[in-house]
């Protein structure tokens, strides 16, 4: 399909890009004061601003393209597929982990390791392992963003920019990454957060507009003619039982290739995996930076609650609107292309629908909004990665007494270096779906066990953490090559499941063995380190020896007995959150009965959380009264 942008759409996009760079320039003086200003905006912004920024950062163009493909193929059941990340990790941060993290009062997730393991050899090893993991995760996400923005832009821009080993898509991605890095270099975290607000406004307008277009153009009766039986049903059994024969038959092959034939099994695996990942706490990336940049522990909880709302509702309006328009108007063209043997990349449905079936003017808003989504995720990711290089490598081990100006300049250099590495990684990646599953299952799997144990077991030490992280991350990097050949030797049913999910339990076992064995073979952390962590963070779990020791100094110190309440709130929160996905989808596809049921469930769970979560939030203080 050939497409040419109208002058009105071009003006909207160019105006947006100029405004973003100008805002970065305006913020540069404030951001360049020191590291705290550059990477956390001085911890001065309110929770609703941070939460909106966090939500905008999660509204990425690559993930949106992937979700459109999933909804196009799997229908209303696709509301559960985001659990593969898992999407409900912010519910855990909302309920208890956000305040636990924020009480450390540090700059990065790696620096947080001192809170738990001190500054000795064990603490340094745990610190180094988090830095390595953070940089691997940063580069993986940069490559992920590179692939998505390249596939997106080549549909719209007609110029052939191919040069040497770089395709046109690669060159478009290079240009947009460079523009994004330019304003990020100028404004730092202020630039990330405040431009995220502009981006969120654009995304919301674009999402509502595309939803209105889809509702007006496609009735439920019309949509039903283009989808198989069961596409618009929410619930499912162990098998998917969705047959695209006679419509777009290639999707039947895609379902098998994606590993979703045993849909119920996959979703249960995603749920169990997600619970473990979420309990481990935020990964060392921009999610951690958003929590640490809040003003106090109470606002860290509220920030994550607000993030779920501002990200999911507008995002799923856009995703569903694009998917519905794609099924009815673009689907027949896809069918013809496949019948002619031309082939089609279903991960490009989103840009093709915008190019062919969205009115002039709205195309410009949508493109500016989606470019904003890309920039929002990219700038947060690369800013967080640079923080680890400067604060956790250079400042800690190389130049601890350097000037603030030196640190900020090194932040610029680190940002550019990560950009270059991320581009090279992106050039080697082809499929959004594959890298999504690899990051969400294999790479996140290496993080789970040591980070789960660090919160809840007093005996766990920095040596065990280091061993578990190195073993887990190494397993995550290697198992993507090892597991697929093993699946070929297994019973046929295993071949119907995604290799990345099958590798997750293997990674967990390897990481757990390394963590526990090394921990038990080495001495526990010093009493003063454990007591300081317990008194500051106040976790629940197996902390009785530390609590008993502290009672001599703080007779009024109460143990955290909120496990049952927190577990209940997490369960209610997951149900609450999934309805934020379901309701926008149902509005657009015309499933009004399911929509009203979901609205009632959302209202009931909101009222419950008002009494069991919101009313129980502590005051906006860093420490408990007996500590002062």
Task: Report pLDDT for 625.
Answer: 41
Residue 530 lies in a domain: no
Q: What does the mean pLDDT of the chain come to?
A: 83
Residues 201-224 have a mean pLDDT of 91
424 or 321, which is more confident? 321
Q: E strands, 210-253, where?
A: none
Residue 524 lies in a domain: no
CATH of residue 211: 1.20.1730
**Would you list the DSSP string of 127-175?**
HHHHHHHHHHHHHHHHHHHHHHHHHHHHHH------BTTB-HHHHHHHH
The Cβ of residue 7 has, within 10 Å, a number of other Cβ atoms equal to 9
Is the predicted pLDDT of residue 477 greater than 60, yes or no?
yes
Which residues, in sequence order, are CB contacts of 487 under 8 Å at separation 6+?
494, 495, 499, 502
Which residues, in sequence order, are CB contacts of 597 under 8 Å at separation 6+?
none
Highest mean pLDDT among 367-381, 477-491, 492-506, 596-610: 596-610
Task: Report pLDDT for 134.
Answer: 82
Instruction: Name 542's bridge partners.
Output: 457
Residue 288 lies in a domain: yes
In the chain, what percentage of residues exceed pLDDT 90?
34
Q: How confident is the model at residue 622 (pLDDT cuts 50, 70, 90)?
A: very low
Task: Report pLDDT for 404.
Answer: 78
Task: Report pLDDT for 220.
Answer: 95
- Tokens for 366, please give them: 């949508």
Dump pLDDT digits (tens) for 517-535: 999 999 999 999 999 999 9
Is the predicted pLDDT of residue 481 greater than 70, yes or no?
no
Q: Based on the structure, what is the number of domains in the chain? A: 1
Residue 119 lies in a domain: yes
Residue 602 lies in a domain: no
DSSP three-state, residue 542: strand
Q: How confident is the model at residue 216 (pLDDT cuts 50, 70, 90)?
A: very high
Half-sphere exposure of 446 (CA within 13 A, CB side): 27
Residues 280-300 have a mean pLDDT of 81
Instruction: Name 163's bridge partners.
Output: 166
Task: Report pLDDT for 491.
Answer: 57
Dump pLDDT digits (tens) for 141-169: 788 778 778 877 877 776 778 887 778 88
Residues 171-195 have a mean pLDDT of 69
Q: Which domain holds residue 76?
A: 7-430
Residue showing tokens 């280091």: 466
97/109 Cα distance (integer angstroms):
13
Which residues, in sequence order, are CB contacts of 86 under 8 Å at separation 6+?
270, 271, 273, 274, 275, 277, 278, 440
Residues 21-42 have a mean pLDDT of 55
DSSP state of 296: S
132/138 Cα distance (integer angstroms):
10
CA 207 from centroid of its chain's CA atoms: 19
Highest mean pLDDT among 37-51, 96-110, 369-383, 561-575: 561-575
Residue 512 lies in a domain: no
Region of poorest pLDDT, from 191-200, 271-280, 436-445: 436-445
Is the predicted pLDDT of residue 57 greater than 50, yes or no?
yes
DSSP state of 615: G
424 or 111, which is more confident? 424
Residue 447 lies in a domain: no
Nearest to 419 by CA among 613, 194, 209, 149: 149
Is the predicted pLDDT of residue 388 greater than 70, yes or no?
yes
DSSP three-state, residue 381: helix
- CA distances from residue 483 to 254, 502, 553 in whole angstroms, order as listed: 20, 8, 52
58 or 9, which is more confident? 9
Q: Is residue 402 exposed (0-12), middle (13-18) or buried (19+ Cβ within 10 Å)?
A: middle
Residue 174 lies in a domain: yes
């Amino acid at each position: 399909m050939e497409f040419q942008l109208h002058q009105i759409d071009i003006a909207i996009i160019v105006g947006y890009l100029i405004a973003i760079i100008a805002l970065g320039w305006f913020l540069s003086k404030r951001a360049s004061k020191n590291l705290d200003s550059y990477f956390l905006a001085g911890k001065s912004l309110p929770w609703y601003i941070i939460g909106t920024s966090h939500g905008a950062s999660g509204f990425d163009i690559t993930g949106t393209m992937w979700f459109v493909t999933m909804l196009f193929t799997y229908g209303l059941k696709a509301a559960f597929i985001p659990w593969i990340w898992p999407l409900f990790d912010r519910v855990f941060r909302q309920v208890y982990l956000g305040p636990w993290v924020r009480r450390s009062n540090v700059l990065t997730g790696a620096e947080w390791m001192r809170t738990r393991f001190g500054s000795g050899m064990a603490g340094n090893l745990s610190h180094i392992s988090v830095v390595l993991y953070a940089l691997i995760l940063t580069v993986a996400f940069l490559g992920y963003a590179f692939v998505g923005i390249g596939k997106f832009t080549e549909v719209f821009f007609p110029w052939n920019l191919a040069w040497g080993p770089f395709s046109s898509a690669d060159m478009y991605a290079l240009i947009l990454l460079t523009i994004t890095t330019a304003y990020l270099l100028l404004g730092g975290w202020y630039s990330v957060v405040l431009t995220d607000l502009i981006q969120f406004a654009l995304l919301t307008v674009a999402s509502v507009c595309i939803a209105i277009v889809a509702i007006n153009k496609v009735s439920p009766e019309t949509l039903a003619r283009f989808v198989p039986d069961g596409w618009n049903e929410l619930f499912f059994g162990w098998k998917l039982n969705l047959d695209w024969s006679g419509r777009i038959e290639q999707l039947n092959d895609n379902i098998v290739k994606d590993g979703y034939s045993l849909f119920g099994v996959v979703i249960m695996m995603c749920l169990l995996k997600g619970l473990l990942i979420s309990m481990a706490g935020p990964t060392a990336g921009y999610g951690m930076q958003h929590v640490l940049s809040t003003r106090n522990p109470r606002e860290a909880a509220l920030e994550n609650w607000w993030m779920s709302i501002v990200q999911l509702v507008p995002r799923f309006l856009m995703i569903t609107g694009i998917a519905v328009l794609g099924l009815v108007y673009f689907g027949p063209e896809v069918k013809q292309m496949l019948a002619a043997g031309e082939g089609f990349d279903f991960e490009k449905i989103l840009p093709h629908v915008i190019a062919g079936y969205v009115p002039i003017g709205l195309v410009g808003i949508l493109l500016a909004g989606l470019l904003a989504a890309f920039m929002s995720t990219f700038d947060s990711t690369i800013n967080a990665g640079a923080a680890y290089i400067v604060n956790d490598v250079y400042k800690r081990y190389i130049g601890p007494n350097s000037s603030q100006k030196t640190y900020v300049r090194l932040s610029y250099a680190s940002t550019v270096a990560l950009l270059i590495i991320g581009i090279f990684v992106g050039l080697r990646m082809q499929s959004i779906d594959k890298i999504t599953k690899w990051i969400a299952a294999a790479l996140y799997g290496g993080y789970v066990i040591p980070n789960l144990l660090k919160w809840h077991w007093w005996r766990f030490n920095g040596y065990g953490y280091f061993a578990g992280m190195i073993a887990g991350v190494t397993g995550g990097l290697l198992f993507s090559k090892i597991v697929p050949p093993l699946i070929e030797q297994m019973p046929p049913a295993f071949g119907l499941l995604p290799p990345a999910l099958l590798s997750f339990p293997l990674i967990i076992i390897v990481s757990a063995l390394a963590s526990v064995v090394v921990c038990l073979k080495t001495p526990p952390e010093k009493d003063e380190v454990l007591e300081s962590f317990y008194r500051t963070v106040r976790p629940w779990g197996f902390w009785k020896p530390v609590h008993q020791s502290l009672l001599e100094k703080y007779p009024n110190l109460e143990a955290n007995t909120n496990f049952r309440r927190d577990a209940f709130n997490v369960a209610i929160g997951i149900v609450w959150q999934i309805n934020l996905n379901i309701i926008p989808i149902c509005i657009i596809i015309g499933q009004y009965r399911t929509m009203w049921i979901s609205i009632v469930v959302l209202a009931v769970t909101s009222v419950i959380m008002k009494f069991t979560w919101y009313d129980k939030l502590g005051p906006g203080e860093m420490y408990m009264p007996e500590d002062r």
